[in-house]
Amino acid sequence: MEYFPFRGVIIEKGACLSSFADYVLGCHPSLYRYARSLCGEPQDAEELLQETYKRALAARRKPVVANADEIRPWIFTIMRHVWQNERRRVWRSREVLFEEAPVMSGEYTEFGMTRKLLVSEVRAAVDSLPVTWREIIVMRDMEDLSYAEIAAILGCPIGTVMSRLARARDALRQLLRPRVAISNEVRQ
């Protein structure tokens, strides 16, 4: 399935963008990735995703369709509230702490590293981060949300977003350092 970015919202190619339902459906892949960053496990992420959709659709006040840029931060915020209020206690217990992150093996050679391996390495590194760092990496570097949007979702000042993002990236850099140069070559 192919996606392309549309004013900050990932919309399925060829989709009819005439209704609120279309917009929220367009956020589906993006939301799922954010759910994974919060929950870790695919099954929990799917559960959180569905609950978020139910809450979002039942909400009395929804962003108007004309303001498509507002829809994704709005629904991300709902997801975070659902996760915080109802599931955090359950899911936090499954979280792998950064200090306990496994040391990445160096079995891959410079020439043998494929994109699949790059994805695998990056995912392992991201998954090993604490959830507060993981979610900010996903929102900023994968979902391309702005600092202001992230601050609104997290309910914190932009300065907190910046410092948290800096620490998360430092940690990722440590984990990916041996491979960053290689991965850049692979991408090129």
Contact positions toward other proteins, by CB under 8 A?
21, 24-25, 28-29, 32-33, 36-37, 42, 45-46, 49-50, 53-54, 57-58, 115, 118-119, 121-123, 126, 137, 140-142, 146-147, 162, 165-166, 169, 172-173, 176, 179-181, 183-184, 186-187
Residue 22 or 70 having the CB closest to other proteins? 22
Tokens of residue 180, six digits: 């960053």
Q: From the CB of 19, what's the least distance to other proteins, in Å? A: 8
Cβ 17 vs Cβ 26: under 8 Å: yes
Residue 156 or 181 having the CB closest to other proteins? 181
Q: From the CB of 126, what's the least distance to other proteins, in Å? A: 6
Q: From the CB of 95, what's the least distance to other proteins, in Å? A: 16
Q: From the CB of 167, what's the least distance to other proteins, in Å? A: 11
Look up residue 45 and give its amino acid: A
